[in-house]
Amino acid sequence: MGEVDPAFIQDPEHRPKLSIIQAEGIPIIDLSPITNHTVSDPSSIEGLVKEIGSACKEWGFFQVTNHGVPLSLRQRIEEASRLFFSQSLEEKRKYRRDEISPSGYYDTEHTKNVRDWKEVFDFQARDPTFIPLTSDEQDDRLNHWHNPSPEYPPHFRETIQEYVEEVEKLCFKLLELIALSLGLEAKRFEEFFIKDQTSNIRLNHYPPCAYPHLALGVGRHKDGGALTVLAQDEVGGLEVKRKADQEWIRVKPTPNTYIINVGDIIQVWSNDAYESVEHRAMVNSEKERFSIPFFFNPAHYTEVKPLEELTNERNPPKYRPYKWGKFLVHRKGSNFKKQNVENIQIYHYKIA
């Protein structure tokens, strides 16, 4: 990955702090009441909804067990990820992403924003994925994002597609639980994802870093979409900023679980009842780390705004509506252009 960028040393905002609380922290929630077909006790579903609601409100993050995604499939995609990243840099760069389509490979040594210590392979859940050509509100032209098809490892594309299908099923179940926890109809969010969703999966590889106190795997950020479903390996490294006291909490890896976080879209839909919280990924001085996040995002034409059912005179809308596709294109554009200002955030749509 090269040498550590001097900016890491000079910029304390992006330098990891040593005072990290080593704790499991975020809740672990058993989803068997909705994934085990032999469970029929309504009270167990009600209890699950309350657990989800509490985790979303207090943490914005939670882990899930008995989630329904086959362990064998997860093992296959993790192995495929390791094999892909084990190739030479020359081979991997045959599938580099570009400004036309952000799918494919990139390493942070050759991007405009050299903050993160990692290499990545991005893959769209829908091929093609329809997206606005520009972030200009007056421009109605559409772009088509396509996925590359690496020859190695064998069946790489098919494995990713199969995995995406299973994780999508989990996402729809989680959306139902979140909707119920907000007092909404279970299928309230489904309409935004049934057609033309813009979801994507990312394979992350964090090589060992000789200066882990100076570099970050991924700098602090919030996810702009609806839900993120993260598979992390036994090395770990994810840290979440606890809402109660703003301390960074290390998420201890738990075998065969997924880490779930609500994104900005859920925060806006819920009118701040649930919050998308900051998180980051740490590097390791001795071990390489792998993780696989799936970003569950609606169709590009979705107008994101507080839901009418959750707003009234006492609780008026706290955000102006915005088009998800335009927001996403603006965000993606920062991957290729060095910016002197902060990238677009949902608080830019906050109503004073």
Q: What is the pTM of this model?
A: 0.90
Exposure of 33 by Cβ count < 10 A (0-12 exposed, 13-18 middle, 19+ buried)? buried
Domain extents in the chain: 6-349
How far, in Å, CA of 230 to CA of 220, rounded? 16
Question: 229-281, pLDDT tens digit by residue?
Answer: 999 999 988 999 999 899 999 998 899 999 999 999 999 999 999 999 999 99
Asked if the peptide bond before residue 154 counts as cis, ω within 30 degrees of 0, the response is no
Q: What is the DSSP letter of 108?
A: G
Q: What is the pLDDT of residue 5?
A: 45
Q: Are 294 and 171 in contact (CB under 8 A)?
A: yes
- The domain at 6-349 falls in which architecture? Sandwich (2.60)
Give the other-Cβ count within 10 Å of 255's Cβ: 8
- Calpha distance 253→250 (Å, rounded): 9
268 compared with 333, residue with greater pLDDT = 268
Q: What are the backbone angles phi and psi of residue 168, rounded to the nearest 5°?
A: -60, -40
Q: Which helix (H) or strand (E) holds 219?
A: strand 218-221
The pLDDT of 129-155, averaged and rounded, is: 95
